[in-house]
Amino acid sequence: MKGDSGKFIEFDQDVSNIELPEKFTFPFYYEPHPIAMIAAEELQSYLEDHNFGHDFGIQRRTQHSIGKMFGVLVVQKPNGQLGYLAAFSGKVADSNDHEHFVPPVFDMLTKNSFFRKEELEISEINRQVAQLENDPEYVQLQNESTQKLNELNSTEKSLRDAIIQGKQDRKKTRREQKEILSEEEFEKLCNDLAKESIESKLELKQFLRYKDHVTAEIAEKLAPFENKIKELKRDRANRSNVLQKKLFNSYQFLNIKGENKSLLPIFEHTSLKKPPAGAGECAAPKLLQYAFEHDLKPIALAEFWWGAPPNTEIRTHKNYYPACQGKCEPILGHMLKGIELDENPLIKNYGSNKEIEVIYEDDHIMIINKPHDLLSVPGKNIKDSVYTRILDQNPNLSGPVIVHRLDMATSGLMVLAKEEVAYKLIQRQFLDRSVKKTYTALLEGVLDERRGRVELPMRLDIYDRPRQCVCHEHGKWSKTDWRVDYIKDGRTRIIFKPITGRTHQLRVHAAHKEGLKTPIVGDDLYGTRDERLYLHATTLTFEHPKTKEIISFNAPAPF
């Protein structure tokens, strides 16, 4: 691997016979151009031969293993010479500075940088806060205060309970004695009971004054510590906010027109409103920034994962991945301004020429076999869907029609409701999980076991929609039973029986390292693209909303 004095890397092999792309890579959904794949493969060879002091977890995964996203940008010098730039997302071995890799857009780790200096000041505040919070005198005062306040609260509760009980007892006494005592005696009794009520309330009032006094004394003893802690935390928050804004303004992104834009204005009109953590640290912005700064023409982009998969997202060693939507889309939207891009495949309707097969129909329901690549309901950019087609063919249908959905890429059985009553009755069955479904899928590899269950907590990856991720802190549990149908040519045909119905559940359960570790063939989100996603909804069993009969349907997988 050769390189000039900068970060421009010459190809090891002759690429003069490769036809260059007419347009630049659409970064959010692409098949790498052949010349970008050559650059990526050369970079991978370099990674295999060099030790960065970073545990990627390729040979042996440990608790310290961290895989990384790497990127290559094929570029052309003004004299026509082709080469490429290389970058990694975030840091490698806690450093931004590595030979052959472009620098970050802004290096906060530079010695004597404002970030380092202010980070040290914030760390010193953290140390002072911790010292105060762990001061033996403060800890003893807190324990004594907690004990005293618990005693006071307990006494207050007893007095309040006694007032309530006394009120009930006096009411009972008045009721019982009214018929027994003379009018004069009953009046005297009522006066005595009223005095008793006043005395109990007075006792509570006096106690509350005492409690307020004790509480004030406690607060006075704690004040020297707590006021100082609050002051330090307020100072820390202010410093952190100032530092964050300073950092955001330091990340200045160029485009081919020479226009500079910082993170704050880039993200101000997004749903996030402000830059998320790590914005601008991904490989693609680093690569483009260096190219624009050094008069290098961007030709093609490719990003790949190197090393062990993360705990949440699904990443596979050496697989290519598009730029993320949450962090990179706003930044690249500015950086790629003025560059002609490949057509956005995400707005192309790949299901336009596919027909919906009706399996069964009566006055109440319809069972269809949905083709792959057709939406269940209209999308943001594509309106053609099962819903729109069924309504076009049956304009008099009432109710929401779509009871459940299949991913656009998934084919197979769907039940549709032709009236609102049927919709509600079937939807209730889906909600209480009484509907029985099986899916057939083809997996990329061979499983060691023949059957089992996958249970994972899942949630939306808010920075990379529509991908889902595994999150043990905020995820909702998902469950799938599975069994192997057969194994052929290094691939496993499997039968899934989902118990829950989370978005992308089967795709995540197949691909994630805590699931089957084997993605579904053709899964462009969690595996490798193919002619289609090999996932099909095969059987469907539920109670008919009108006849109450248990009905079953079967649509064999077309693979």
**CB contact at 8 A, 477 and 455:** yes
Q: Tens digit of pLDDT for each residue in 291-307?
A: 999 999 999 999 999 99
* Calpha distance 170→181 (Å, rounded): 15
Pick from 517, 520, 539, 537: nearest CA to 528: 520
The domains of the chain are located at: 2-106+254-346, 131-247, 357-554
Q: What is the pLDDT of residue 398?
A: 78
302 burial class (0-12, 13-18, 19+ CB within 10 angstroms)?
buried
Q: Which amino acid is at 370?
A: K
pLDDT along the chain (559 residues), means of 10: 70 95 96 98 96 88 90 97 97 91 90 86 97 96 96 96 96 92 93 95 96 95 96 96 93 96 94 90 97 97 96 94 93 97 93 96 97 95 95 88 96 96 96 96 96 97 92 96 97 97 97 96 95 97 97 97
**Three-class secondary structure of residue 366 per DSSP:** strand
**CB contact at 8 A, 439 and 495:** yes
Q: What is the pLDDT of residue 366?
A: 97
* Calpha distance 296→8 (Å, rounded): 9
The DSSP output letter for 550 is E
Residues 6+ apart with CB under 8 A from 303: 69, 70, 71, 72, 283, 284, 320, 321, 322, 323
Please provide residue 249's backbone torsions phi and psi, each rounded to the nearest 5 degrees.
Answer: -75, -20
Pairing of strands 357-361, 468-470: unpaired
Residues 6+ apart with CB under 8 A from 218: 145, 148, 149
Element of type H or E holding 495: strand 491-498
Tokens of 551: 């009905």
Please provide residue 137's backbone torsions phi and psi, each rounded to the nearest 5 degrees.
Answer: -65, -40
Scan for tokens 């906060």, then name that residue: 108
Q: What is the pLDDT of residue 299?
A: 98
**CB contact at 8 A, 304 and 18:** no
Tokens of 160: 């309040």
Scan for tokens 């994962």, then name that residue: 305
Residues in the chain: 559
Pick from 391, 412, 392, 413: nearest CA to 401: 391
* Calpha distance 181→331 (Å, rounded): 88
Please provide residue 406's backbone torsions phi and psi, each rounded to the nearest 5 degrees.
Answer: -115, 145
* Calpha distance 291→472 (Å, rounded): 40
Domain 357-554 has CATH 3.40.120.10: no
Count CB-CB contacts under 10 A for residue 417. Answer: 23
pTM, entire model: 0.82
**CB contact at 8 A, 443 and 494:** yes
Alpha helices, H only, 348-489: 386-393, 420-431
Residues facing residue 341 across a β-bridge: 24
Q: What is the pLDDT of residue 5?
A: 53
* Calpha distance 195→185 (Å, rounded): 16
Assess whether 97 carries a catalytic annotation: no
Candidate list 407, 461, 464, 523, residue with the active-site label: 407
Element of type H or E holding 206: helix 183-250
Residues facing residue 300 across a β-bridge: 74
Q: What is the pLDDT of residue 202?
A: 96
Q: How far is CA 205 from CA 168, 170, 473, 535, in A?
A: 20, 20, 46, 71
**CB contact at 8 A, 47 and 261:** no
Q: How far is CA 341 from CA 30, 302, 333, 411, in A?
A: 11, 14, 11, 31
